[in-house]
Amino acid sequence: MTAPLVRLAAIRKRYGAVDALQGVDLDVGAGEVVAICGDNGAGKSSLIRVVSGAHAPDGGTIEIEGRAVRFGSPLDALKAGVATIYQDLALAPRQPIWQNIFIGAELTRSILLDKPRMREESRRYLARLRIGIADVDRAVDTLSGGQRQAVAIARALRWNARLVIMDEPTAALGVAESRQVLDLIRELHRAGTTVILISHNMAEVVEVATRVAILKGGRKVADRPAAGLSADSLAHLVMTGTLQ
């Protein structure tokens, strides 16, 4: 048996008196699209902050392909191939697309920025996501919400992310743009990238996830393949922790 891409074991997180995570185990296999579901306050974002290096856990371990890791920062996680896309996307809206994709890790040739190569590679990453943006000099604030998600994902690909984590990526988007984000997730899956998706939208989850883990009050109460789940049965599982 090969080790899963990510193994979380007995993860605990406390904020003052709040026990946000009370010993959560989660394996994420390479190539899976794992949805994390649960009510507000269940601990979904806390779990993601631990995997993404934003917060250190108060207990438990993280392994990447069987090796224990300790992420001191999101940059540590990025270097290990774990990229997190937050709801605000952390893009610089007035800057061109290519610059956003290479932000913080620009390509250089001798001491100069290699702009032609960054433009070219930006086009390639976006093409990989099947997003037709011909002009990578466009400022991000001229793009639709779905296209902005694509830019944020392209930045993750630029770091050779093997795991892309998305926390409620469609929460602020309309129907058409949400569809575009689901298509992006499908493209990542097709290309073999592993995805963790947090979503309240049961219809979206059953559409794109291969597996569903459900948190309730800081504990995992269910973890099962998504195949065979309807949006209704998933909603019931989230509410009660059991199938109808």
Ligand X SMILES: Nc1ncnc2c1ncn2[C@@H]1O[C@H](COP(=O)(O)OP(=O)(O)O)[C@@H](O)[C@H]1O
Q: Indicate the residue among 121 and 167 with the shorter CB distance to Mg ion.
A: 167
How many CB atoms are closer than 10 A to CB 86?
Answer: 18
CB of 14 vs ligand X, minimal distance in Å: 9
| From the list ligand X, Mg ion, none, partner contacted by residue 43 (C-beta under 5 to 8 A by kind) | ligand X
Q: How far is the CB of 18 from ligand X (least distance, A)?
A: 5
Task: Give the residues across from 197 on adjacent strands.
Answer: 35, 166
| C-beta closer to ligand X: residue 29 or 217 | 217
Positions that interact with Mg ion (CB under 5 A):
44-45
Q: Shortest CA distance to 91 belongs to which of 9, 3, 156, 135?
A: 156
Q: How many CB atoms lie within 10 A of CB 224?
A: 14
Q: Residue 41: which of ligand X, Mg ion, none does it interact with, CB under 5 to 8 A by kind?
A: ligand X
Residue type, 144: S
Q: Which residues in the 1-30 window bind ligand X by CB under 6 A?
A: 15, 18, 20
Query: Contact at 8 Å (CB) between 34 and 215?
Result: no
Q: Which residues of 158-193 are buried (b: 16+ CB within 10 A; e: fewer)?
A: bbebbbbbbbbbbeebeeebbebbbbbbbbbbeeeb
Q: Rule CB under 6 A: is residue 171 a binding residue for ligand X?
A: no
Told to check if 239 binds ligand X by CB under 6 A, we report no
Residues in 29-48 at the binding interface with ligand X, rule: CB under 6 A:
38, 40-46
Q: Which residues bind ligand X (CB under 6 A)?
A: 15, 18, 20, 38, 40-46
